[in-house]
Amino acid sequence: MAVLTAPTNEILRLQEDLKRALKKPVEKRHWGMVIDMRKCTGCHSCTVACIAENKLPPGVVYRPVIDQEKGIYPHVGRSFLPRPCQHCGDAPCVRACPVGASYKRPDGIVGLDYDKCVGCRYCIAACPYGARTFDFGEYYTAATPALQDYEKLSSFEYGKKRPRDGKSSPVGNVRKCTFCLHRLDAGMLPACVTTCIGHATYFGDLNDPNSLVAELAARPNATVLKPEMGTKPSVYYLI
Amino acid sequence: MKSLPKLILGLGVILGLYGFWSFTSQGHTGLGYTSYVPWGLWVVFYTSLVGMSVGAFLVTFLAYGLGISTMKPAARVAPVISLVSLFAGLLFIVLDLGHWERVFNLLFSLNPRSPMAYLGWLYLLYTLLLLFLLGALRGGKEDSLTRLALAGLVISFFVALGEGSLFSVLRARIYWNNGLTLLRYLAGAYMAGVALTLLLASSWKGLQDSLRPLSRLSLGLVLISFFLELIDLGVAFNSGNAHELEAHRMVLFGSGAWLFWLIQLGLGVVLAAALLWNGQKTGRTGTLGLAASAVLLGYLAAKFNLVLPGQQTSLLPGLVEAFSHPKLVLSYAPTSAEVLVVIGLLSLAGLATIYLTEIFTTPGSTSAVKGRVQA
């Protein structure tokens, strides 16, 4: 039974870590994520949960899972790399945005002001991880006799209700993973963390030495994507 | 000028209006760019036209800033070319914005760390300068022209520097991220602006005195531009950087290699240089007009080969395959709406250039300046 309860306890610990972090002033936290690639099964449930949580339209994806095959038969291997926004410490997208719509929050999250964004897509060109996508204003049921009501439901990103009407923001904007900021504000873990069937995704305050993410991110097998870019990502991978 | 070119350009404008209607009815889904290739045909033309605007200003500077008298006939229309090219380029980028109604954020809500943030004010400053310069030209105020030409050289240089920086500072895009990109942009801009002035001068009565110096200048700039391209290729192929090599291989040997070999190199360098060499000796307007057209086509091809391949290499292996959607691919093909809007805006720019050139070359319009030129 110990094998079955251990992962559950990890989620509970993450939840406790989150509660503790939320009691701190925002500038004292540093939200971070650790993804254990050895545990990821490539089920894409995080991708789907993210789409459902953020009501993402066609063509907008915050957390694709990259399927990697290595080696030559018979010595082959396969691994999966979920790729959310890396919430870089020195974010090239924040630097590139001409109008300051992309910004860095004191808690480390890279946010985007939909009402300021002009849709120039310079931040997409600047991101080394391809973590930003453009909202072209598409609907899943556009080619059907009637647009379904669920497609017009409000997204709660950044804690603001935004019904989808086909023209106003975030249509015409660049979009990206927010670490489910609206859920964090409500004391909940990001959707990709709670939905992960392999318990491969961890989330918490990297500034808290007692948090599970801080412990995991300090392990020798923890790495970041493209370290040569010097972007100081807040997402770590256990390999 | 005869009415046939105006008629053709008028038809082009109508086609453009149809393209614009098609674009507004479909929105950005009707454009060919994707989330992984976020800049397409309109950005190519935006950056090309702004470059031409800056390049044409070189002629204005040589005539009024340095007082080279043989450049003065062409310098009567060079500011017109600068102004029209700049406006056309800016129209392309405004249309390309996801929220064009927020375009003034680019002036009043600036992020000082972004090179793009400075461009809005530089464009405004440059536009005002060009308007003052055209006013001074119309009023024949030679002293003002000299001062404006000197100030304009600096401002236009910074415009070009800002444009080139948009690409060269992006460390995520190895293909762009080097100082040579900036130099190539500057050289290409001056080459194209001078060629556009040469094209107009070769087809307009009263401007032919400037043909020979313009053709020599154009030839020099074509060779400098080509030299910088060669250096860039040499550096890339010796760097061993896989991402950079992938983009360069795409340009040289990919499905669009004809654009490099036939248009950029064949027309834009080999044929253009041969025609310019011949034309600067004979002074034939037809030869020089063809040469200028070849330079411009080569320049546009070079801009395609700068803007698109820089985006068409995968940032993370397997990312494109990770999630399937037509807007999450690395391929890019312009849609009919994009092409028609390009035809329309270029035709509109052509018409504006013709009408403004007529105004600025009409006898008496710039009497004082012309008087000094003839003297």
pLDDT score of B27 = 92
pLDDT > 70 fraction of chain B, expressed in percent and rounded: 96
pLDDT score of B73 = 93
For domain B4-360, give the fold.
Answer: Formate dehydrogenase/DMSO reductase fold (1.20.1630)
| CA pair distance B187, A111, nearest whole angstrom | 38
Nearest residue in A to B314, CA atom: A130
* pLDDT tier, B366 (very low <50, low <70, confident <90, very high otherwise): low
Question: Residue A128 and residue B171: Cβ atoms within 8 Å?
Answer: yes
pLDDT score of A90 = 96
Decide: B268 and B298 in contact? Cβ < 8 Å.
yes
pLDDT score of A167 = 82
* pLDDT tier, B370 (very low <50, low <70, confident <90, very high otherwise): very low
B374 has a pLDDT exceeding 60: no
Residues of B in contact with A133 (CB under 8 A): 35, 327-328
> pLDDT of B181-218, one tens digit each?
999 999 999 999 999 999 999 998 888 889 999 999 99
Query: Which CATH architecture fits A6-238?
Result: 2-Layer Sandwich (3.30)
Tell me which of A50-54, B191-195, B358-362 is least confident: B358-362
Q: What is the dihedral of CA B197, B203, B207, B212, to 10 degrees?
A: 70
Residues of B in contact with A118 (CB under 8 A): 97-100, 102-103, 105-106
Of A164 and B274, which is predicted with more confidence?
B274
Complex-level ipTM: 0.92
Nearest residue in B to A127, CA atom: B172
* pLDDT tier, B364 (very low <50, low <70, confident <90, very high otherwise): low
Interface test with A, best of B29, B316, B325 (most A CBs within 10 A): B316
Question: Residue B318 and residue A121: Cβ atoms within 8 Å?
Answer: no
Residues of B in contact with A172 (CB under 8 A): 27-28, 98-99
Partner-chain residue, chosen from A83, A118, A125, that has the shortest CB–CB distance to B170? A125
Interface test with B, best of A62, A115, A121 (most B CBs within 10 A): A121
State the average pLDDT over residues B231-249: 88
pLDDT score of B373 = 43
Question: Residue A47 and residue B328: Cβ atoms within 8 Å?
Answer: no
CA angle A45, A51, A55 (to 5 degrees): 150
Distance from CA of A18 to the nearest CA of B (A): 30
> pLDDT of B43-98, one tens digit each?
999 999 999 999 999 999 999 999 999 999 999 999 999 999 999 999 999 999 99
Question: Residue A125 and residue B117: Cβ atoms within 8 Å?
Answer: no
Burial of B35-47, coded b for 16+ CB within 10 Å and e otherwise, reads bbbbbbbbbbbbb
| CA pair distance B202, B196, nearest whole angstrom | 10
Domain boundaries, chain B: 4-360
Domain boundaries, chain A: 6-238
Of A93 and B365, which is predicted with more confidence?
A93
pLDDT score of A176 = 97
A-to-B residue pairs, Cβ atoms closer than 8 angstroms: 148
* pLDDT tier, B139 (very low <50, low <70, confident <90, very high otherwise): confident
A5 has a pLDDT exceeding 80: no
Question: Residue A99 and residue B321: Cβ atoms within 8 Å?
Answer: no
Interface test with A, best of B114, B306, B319 (most A CBs within 10 A): B114
pTM for this entry: 0.93
> pLDDT of A11-49, one tens digit each?
999 999 999 999 999 999 999 999 999 999 999 999 999
State the average pLDDT over residues A211-224: 97
pLDDT score of B368 = 43
- A174 forms beta bridges with A134
Nearest residue in B to A230, CA atom: B171
Q: Quickly list DSSP for B302-343.
A: HHHHHHTTTTSS-SSTTHHHHS--TTS-S-----HHHHHHHH
Q: Across chain A, what does the average pLDDT equal?
A: 94
Question: Residue A66 and residue B318: Cβ atoms within 8 Å?
Answer: yes
State the average pLDDT over residues B114-134: 95
* pLDDT tier, B226 (very low <50, low <70, confident <90, very high otherwise): very high
A234 has a pLDDT exceeding 80: yes
Partner-chain residue, chosen from B103, B171, B317, that has the shortest CB–CB distance to A229? B171
Residues of A in contact with B103 (CB under 8 A): 118
> pLDDT of A80-130, one tens digit each?
999 999 999 999 999 999 999 999 999 999 999 999 999 999 999 999 999
Nearest residue in A to B320, CA atom: A66
> pLDDT of A64-73, one tens digit each?
999 999 999 9
A4 has a pLDDT exceeding 60: no
Decide: A220 and A32 in contact? Cβ < 8 Å.
no
| CA pair distance B44, B23, nearest whole angstrom | 18
Question: Residue A127 and residue B172: Cβ atoms within 8 Å?
Answer: yes
State the average pLDDT over residues B270-295: 95
Question: Residue B29 and residue A137: Cβ atoms within 8 Å?
Answer: yes
Question: Residue B106 and residue A99: Cβ atoms within 8 Å?
Answer: yes
Q: What are phi and psi of A72, to 5 degrees?
A: -125, 140
Question: Residue A96 and residue B170: Cβ atoms within 8 Å?
Answer: yes
Interface test with A, best of B28, B103, B176 (most A CBs within 10 A): B28
pLDDT score of A143 = 87
Question: Residue B27 and residue A137: Cβ atoms within 8 Å?
Answer: yes
Distance from CA of A120 to the nearest CA of B (A): 5
* Short-list B135, B31, B91, CA closest to B369: B135
Interface test with B, best of A102, A120, A171 (most B CBs within 10 A): A120
**B128 Cβ neighbours under 8 A, 6+ residues apart:** none
State the average pLDDT over residues B119-142: 93
pLDDT score of B1 = 56
pLDDT score of A163 = 86
Nearest residue in B to A134, CA atom: B35
Partner-chain residue, chosen from A59, A125, A169, that has the shortest CB–CB distance to B173? A125
Question: Residue B99 and residue A172: Cβ atoms within 8 Å?
Answer: yes
State the average pLDDT over residues B112-134: 95
* pLDDT tier, B363 (very low <50, low <70, confident <90, very high otherwise): low
pLDDT > 70 fraction of chain A, expressed in percent and rounded: 97
| CA pair distance B62, B72, nearest whole angstrom | 8
pLDDT score of B205 = 85
Distance from CA of B291 to the nearest CA of A (A): 35
Nearest residue in B to A173, CA atom: B98
